[in-house]
């Protein structure tokens, strides 16, 4: 964080863009620093918002691109890690709930990279992704830059709070995905049982004496 404060918005932008590559600086921390810079006079508020927004969306597009390049091929390495059935479930989930998953994950620390990766891998187009993610990013940028401005003198406490929230948010988001998948699978099972309970329509339609 001290490095970001020392080198200003250039460092903030680079940190946001490099987050998908594994840079150990959370996105929200970079945006908090951008807010602090506007209070200390090292950056204007409009510049911080523009740099923060472009950096955030740029990092998200990189995550989406990783997913699009890797894909969810049944014989790919992701399928080997999680299994073919889970790949099919992920694809069904994003076909049905993709926009909501992107919008929610954008504002849940810790879940952005996997959510955006699977958005690209599951086939969500870039223009659609940019519209959904771009709108949600305004919330992220506005909230964290504002927090940085308000708590500029006690930023450490906010960072500790966000670290704890990141853990809780990850658990809650994973539970939400699990609940949605469970409902989808339960609905399919009930539909299959109902179909098995119905008489064979084909036999009913068979003409007598044939």
Report pLDDT digits (tens) over 13-50: 999 998 888 777 888 888 988 998 998 888 899 999 99
What pLDDT is attached to residue 51? 94
What's the pLDDT at 45?
Answer: 93
Average pLDDT, the chain: 77
DSSP type of residue 207: P
How many Å apart are CA 65 and CA 83, to the nearest integer?
22
Domain ranges of the chain: 2-196
Query: What pLDDT, on a 0 to 100 scale, did the predictor assign at position 202?
Result: 45
Residue 171 to residues 92, 99, 137, Cα–Cα distance (Å): 21, 20, 22
Enter the tokens of residue 154.
């006690």
Strands (E), the chain: none
Q: What is the mean pLDDT of residues 108-116?
A: 74
Q: Which of 95-104, 109-118, 130-139, 195-204 has the highest mean pLDDT?
A: 130-139
User: If residue 2 lies in a helix (H) or strand (E), which one and from where to where?
Assistant: helix 2-18
* pLDDT at residue 1, as a whole number: 59
């Amino acid at each position: 964080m001290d490095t970001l404060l020392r080198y200003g918005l250039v460092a903030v932008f680079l940190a946001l863009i490099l987050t998908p590559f594994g840079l150990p600086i959370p996105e929200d921390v970079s945006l908090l620093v951008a807010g602090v810079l506007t209070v200390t006079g090292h950056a204007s508020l409009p510049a911080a918002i523009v740099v923060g927004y472009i950096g955030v969306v740029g990092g998200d597009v990189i995550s989406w691109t990783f997913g699009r390049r890797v894909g969810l091929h049944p014989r790919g390495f992701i399928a080997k890690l999680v299994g073919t059935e889970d790949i099919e479930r992920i694809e069904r989930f994003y076909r049905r709930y993709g926009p909501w998953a992107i919008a929610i994950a954008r504002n849940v620390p810790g879940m952005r990279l996997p959510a955006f990766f699977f958005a690209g891998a599951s086939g969500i187009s870039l223009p659609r992704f940019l519209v959904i993610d771009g709108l949600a990013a305004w919330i992220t940028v506005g909230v964290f830059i504002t927090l940085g401005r308000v708590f500029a003198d006690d930023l450490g406490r906010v960072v500790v709070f966000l670290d704890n929230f990141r853990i809780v948010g990850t658990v809650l988001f994973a539970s939400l995905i699990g609940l949605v998948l469970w409902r989808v699978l339960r609905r399919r099972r009930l539909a299959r049982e109902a179909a098995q309970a119905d008489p064979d329509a084909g036999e009913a339609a068979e003409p007598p004496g044939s």
